[in-house]
Amino acid sequence: MTMKYLLAGLLLSGSAMAALSPFNQRLAEITKVAETVEDAVQKSTSSRGSGVIDSIVHAKDDGNKQLYAVRSGRCSIVATVKYLPPTPGMVGPAQFEVEAADDMSCRKRPTSAASESE
């Protein structure tokens, strides 16, 4: 009987923390990154981008921030996931916000000696 009350106390305590699995946390971050950079990626078709997201790569773990590199054709943009401090007494997955760079940066098409001689 004592074990039953101990278990109930642990389940109801305010210090309990339920987090997403690392896989699901990363999936939530990547989904939000894609939503955040969508407009910039679609605008990249006028420069050298493909207009669609070709890849999202986790580039750096910087403590309270995660950096993601998003590629579209020859263009890329960096998105930063910033974790928000947990609300006291609240249980659930880590809360975060995503900020993206203002513009995509695009590489120029490489020129080859073969194409110049034609």
What spatial distance separates the first Cα and last Cα of the chain, rounded to whole Å? 87
**In Å, how far from its chain's centre is CA 84?**
14
What's the CA gap between 2 and 71, in Å, rounded? 57
pLDDT in tens, 71-99: 988 889 999 999 999 888 877 888 999 99
Q: Is the pTM value of this prediction over 0.85?
A: no
98 near 77, Cβ under 8 Å?
no
pLDDT in tens, 6-53: 444 444 443 344 578 889 999 999 999 999 998 888 877 665 667 889
